[in-house]
A and B are shown apart, each in its own frame.
Chain A
Amino acid sequence: KQEVTQIPAALSVPEGENLVLNCSFTDSAIYNLQWFRQDPGKGLTSLLLIQSSQREQTSGRLNASLDKSSGRSTLYIAASQPGDSATYLCAVRRDQGAQKLVFGQGTRLTINP
């Protein structure tokens, strides 16, 4: 059974710092991995999707990496801003059939002005 773990559960950093969020998964046979952002009481917004054949994806100040063999992914946020404060979740797609994502519990990120 696939399990996804995100450490730390919460992170607080000063504005302007670069930071890394971690995601690990137990079964390396994945089809893709997504990073999502969730604001309090809201739904999820997909940030980056990495296919199983890719090593990384970039969007603006965000860079996500994937190491399937070790079951790890990282989300790098450069020059953090208070607006980046949110919960970040990673999810792996486990099946070739209908999309079924297995989520981690998320990292709650606070950027202090």
Chain B
Amino acid sequence: ETGVTQTPRHLVMGMTNKKSLKCEQHLGHNAMYWYKQSAKKPLELMFVYSLEERVENNSVPSRFSPECPNSSHLFLHLHTLQPEDSALYLCASSLRPDGSTNEKLFFGSGTQLSVL
């Protein structure tokens, strides 16, 4: 248990559905991240939130909409997704947004998303 909890673990949705992924961290961290892991591709950074403010949007399509209401919670709202969006979506957190060089990222177990 890393202290970062993601729900749901698995999600199947149609292209016209709207769903949300949730991430909660119990580590007192101030920065949270969304990563996407597709088959046969490296993990890709999607969004970075620092103290509830988005500091990075890594050219992600608008059908993915993040929300960070407080430093412990992060959401990823999904709408009108495409089948190629099927992937493992991982949430991570770190203590400080511009942490010292010896700071680690802590990951959740991910949400396996399938878009039909």
Stretch from A12-20, A39-47, A61-69, A75-83 forming part of the interface with B: A39-47
Closest 7 CB pairs of A and B: A43-B107, A103-B43, A44-B107, A43-B109, A103-B42, A46-B104, A98-B97
A105 to B44, CA, bound (A): 10
Q: List which B73-105 residues lie within 8 A (CB) of chain A.
A: 88, 90, 92, 94, 97-99, 101-105
Residues on the B chain within 8 Å of A93, using CB: 101
Which residue of the partner chain, among B4, B33, B40, B104, contacts A105 with CB atoms under 8 Å?
B40
A46 to B4, CA, bound (A): 13
CB-CB nearest in chain B for A9: B40
Residues on the A chain within 8 Å of B48, using CB: 98-100
CB-CB nearest in chain B for A6: B42
Number of interface residues of A (CB under 8 A): 29
| A28: Cβ under 8 A from any B Cβ | no
Q: List which A94-111 residues lie within 8 A (CB) of chain B.
A: 96-106
B residues lining the A interface (CB < 8 Å): 2, 4, 6, 31, 33, 40-43, 45, 48, 50, 55-56, 88, 90, 92, 94, 97-99, 101-110, 112
Inter-chain contact B101/A89, CB cutoff 8 Å? no
A49 to B101, CA, bound (A): 9
Inter-chain contact A42/B56, CB cutoff 8 Å? no
A46 to B92, CA, bound (A): 11
A4 to B43, CA, bound (A): 11
Inter-chain contact B90/A99, CB cutoff 8 Å? no
